[in-house]
Amino acid sequence: MSSVIAPSAIRGRFLDIQSTVDQAAAIPEQVRFIEDGLLITQDGKIQWFGTWQAGQHLAADLQVEHYPDQLILPGLIDTHIHFPQTEMIGAYGEQLLEWLNTYTFPTEMQFEDKAYADQIAAFFVQELLKNGTTTALVFCTVHPQSVDALFEAAERHHMRLIAGKVLMDRHAPEALCDTPESAYTDSKALIQKWHGKGRNLYAITPRFAPTSTAAQLAQAGQLKAEHPDVYVHTHLSENQNEIAWVKSLFPEQKNYLDVYHHYGLTGSRSVFAHCVHLEEQEWQCLHDTDSAIAFCPSSNLFLGSGLFPLKKTWEKQVKVGLGTDVGAGTAFSQLDTLNQAYKVQQLQGDKLSAFEALYHATLGAAKALDLHEKLGNFNVGKEADFIVCNLKATAVQALRQDRAKNIEDALFALMMMGDDRNIQATYIYGQKAYAQADRNQY
Q: Which residues would be at the binding site for ligand GUN (CB under 6 A)?
A: 82, 96, 100, 104, 207-208, 235, 238, 299, 325, 328
Report the alpha-carbon distance of residue 309 to residue 297 in Å, rounded. Answer: 10
Instruction: Give the angle subtended at the CA of 71 by the CAs of 355 and 424, to the nearest 5°.
Output: 120
Total residues belonging to the chain: 442
Q: How big is the site for Zn ion, counted in residues (CB under 5 A)?
A: 2
Q: Are 312 and 320 in contact (CB under 8 A)?
A: no
Residue 77 CB, nearest distance to ligand GUN (Å)? 19
Residue 260 CB, nearest distance to ligand GUN (Å)? 13
Number of H helices, E strands in the chain: 18, 16
Residue 238 CB, nearest distance to ligand GUN (Å)? 5
Q: Cβ closer to ligand GUN: 309 or 323?
A: 323
When asked if residue 356 is in the footprint of Zn ion (CB under 5 A), the reply is no
**DSSP string over 76-106:** EEEEEEEGGGGGGTT--S--HHHHIIIIIHH
Q: Cβ closer to ligand GUN: 96 or 154?
A: 96
Residue 300 CB, nearest distance to Zn ion (Å)? 10
**DSSP string over 50-76:** EEHHHHGGGGTTSPEEEEEEEEEEEPE
When asked if residue 258 is in the footprint of Zn ion (CB under 5 A), the reply is no
Report the alpha-carbon distance of residue 192 to residue 186 in Å, rounded. Answer: 10
x/- binding map, residues 311-350, to Zn ion, per CB under 5 A?
A: --------------x-------------------------
372 binds, among ligand GUN, Zn ion, none (CB under 5 to 8 A by kind): none
233 binds, among Zn ion, ligand GUN, none (CB under 5 to 8 A by kind): none
Q: Cβ closer to Zn ion: 202 or 429?
A: 202
Name the 3-class secondary structure at 345.
helix
Report the alpha-carbon distance of residue 26 to residue 284 in Å, rounded. Answer: 23
Closest CA relative to residue 111, chosen from 60, 70, 147, 61: 147
At residue 323, φ and ψ (nearest 5 deg) are -135, 145
Q: Does residue 327 have a cis bond before it (omega within 30 degrees)?
A: yes
Residue 17 CB, nearest distance to ligand GUN (Å)? 28
Q: Cβ closer to Zn ion: 195 or 274?
A: 274
Q: Are 312 and 327 in contact (CB under 8 A)?
A: no
Q: Cβ closer to Zn ion: 208 or 378?
A: 208
282 binds, among Zn ion, ligand GUN, none (CB under 5 to 8 A by kind): none
Residue 276 CB, nearest distance to ligand GUN (Å)? 11
238 binds, among ligand GUN, Zn ion, none (CB under 5 to 8 A by kind): ligand GUN
Closest CA relative to residue 201, chosen from 154, 168, 234: 154
Report the alpha-carbon distance of residue 131 to residue 418 in Å, rounded. Answer: 10
When asked if residue 78 is in the footprint of Zn ion (CB under 5 A), the reply is no
401 binds, among Zn ion, ligand GUN, none (CB under 5 to 8 A by kind): none
Report the alpha-carbon distance of residue 62 to residue 56 in Å, rounded. Answer: 10
207 binds, among Zn ion, ligand GUN, none (CB under 5 to 8 A by kind): ligand GUN
Q: Cβ closer to ligand GUN: 96 or 117?
A: 96
Q: Environment class of residue 403 by beta-carbon count within 10 Å: exposed (0-12), middle (13-18) or buried (19+)? A: exposed
21 binds, among Zn ion, ligand GUN, none (CB under 5 to 8 A by kind): none
Closest CA relative to residue 296, chosen from 270, 315, 324, 277: 324
262-321: contacts with Zn ion (CB under 5 A):
273
Residue 27 CB, nearest distance to Zn ion (Å)? 27
Q: Cβ closer to ligand GUN: 96 or 375?
A: 96
Residue 108 CB, nearest distance to ligand GUN (Å)? 8
318 binds, among ligand GUN, Zn ion, none (CB under 5 to 8 A by kind): none
Beta-carbon-side half-sphere exposure of residue 432 (alpha carbons within 13 Å): 14
Residues 6+ apart with CB under 8 A from 369: 77, 79, 135, 137, 162, 231, 269, 271, 292, 321, 375
At residue 441, φ and ψ (nearest 5 deg) are -80, -5
Residue 318 CB, nearest distance to Zn ion (Å)? 18
Q: Cβ closer to Zn ion: 10 or 294?
A: 294
Residue 325 CB, nearest distance to Zn ion (Å)? 5
Q: Cβ closer to Zn ion: 237 or 401?
A: 237
Q: Cβ closer to Zn ion: 169 or 325?
A: 325
Site for Zn ion, rule CB under 5 A: 273, 325
